[in-house]
Structure formats: structure tokens, C-alpha cells
Amino acid sequence: MGLQLTSAVGRRKRLPLALAAESLYVGRTTVRVPEHALATLRSAGLVLSRPMIATHAAMPSGIRVGKPAAIPGNSVPGHVRSYQCFGDVLVELPTLCIFGKDGAWHVDAMDGWGGVAPGDFHNSWRSCDELIQDVLDFFFGDPVRMLAKTPRRPRSG
């Protein structure tokens, strides 16, 4: 049985898909990343995707952040690719996702399928400024977190 809404006059209407999905997440607060934060990331040379849908289960209104291969900074050697969400820009992997949910700001670097991969992390911050600093540190600061995501190659012989 699908979700239905009864109007004041008693007629039943189908709830639009976006509203139906949103109603499944009652009690969850989602907030878009403020434009000043996005401008700071862009001014550092990072590329940003359009926001995901607000009802995305894991990362509501999430924005994927990548570092173009053409600018200096941290990267996993030999891992460059294009993503449709970044247009024609080649980015060095990995990318991050940023979003606001449940009163916190989140930086997500979970690349593992079916579990946590080496170097994966998810950080939650109280302020958007902390989120910005975390993203900038990942791409331009201490390379330890980035290097932890370097794929492990099996030993030969």
C-alpha cells in the first residue's frame, strides 16, 4: 500500500514521490552546506558537484568534493579519473562528500563496498568552519589520511 494523503474534503490524493520519501525521514534534520563554505572550497581550487537530493538516505543534500589533477595537493598516486558530477574536470582520487544532518556537519570518505576500506573515515563537526578545515586539510594539509587510502598491492614472489 502506497503512501496517500487525505485532503480536508475527504478526497484521497497520491503524495508526490519527493514528499513521500521525505516523510519517511521524519525527525531527521538536514541542512544544505552554506554558500560561504562552498565558496571557500572553490577558492582553494576544489570542484564541487550539485547537491544530492534532500532525501538521500546516507548523505542528504550531500555535495561531492574533488581536487582537480591540474592543481597541487594530496592525492593517491596514479588514480585520476573523470566524474560526470564534475563535468570535464579530471580529479585525483579519492573524493569526499560533505553534508549537514542531525545538527552536525559531516565529511565522508567511505569508499569501501560492503564494509570499511583502508583509510575510510567519517568525521562529524559542530561547526561548518570545522568541516571546511577538515576538507582543506585532507586535500592540502598533512597527507597521512590521503595516503592511508592508497590501494594495497599484493606482494609478488
Alpha helices by DSSP H, the chain: 17-23, 35-43, 128-140, 144-147
Q: What is the pLDDT of residues 16-52, one digit of tens each?
A: 333 333 333 444 556 788 899 999 999 999 999 888 7
Task: Retrieve residue 35's grid coordinates.
Answer: 554558500
Q: Which residues of 34-65 are buried (b: 16+ CB within 10 A; e: fewer)?
A: eeebbebbeebebbbbebbebbbeebbbbbbb
pTM here?
0.74
At residue 17, the pLDDT reads 37
Average pLDDT for 78-83: 78
Side chain identity at residue 40, one-letter code: T
Q: Which helix (H) or strand (E) segment is 48 a member of?
A: strand 47-48
Domain boundaries, the chain: 29-147
pLDDT greater at residue 126 or residue 102 = 126
Mean pLDDT of 84-103: 86
Dist. CA 46–CA 89, nearest whole Å: 10
Predicted local confidence at residue 30, as pLDDT: 61
Contacts of 113 (CB under 8 A, 6+ apart): none
- Higher-confidence residue of 26 and 122: namely 122
Query: Which residue, 118, 114, 122, 101, is CA-closest to 51?
Result: 101
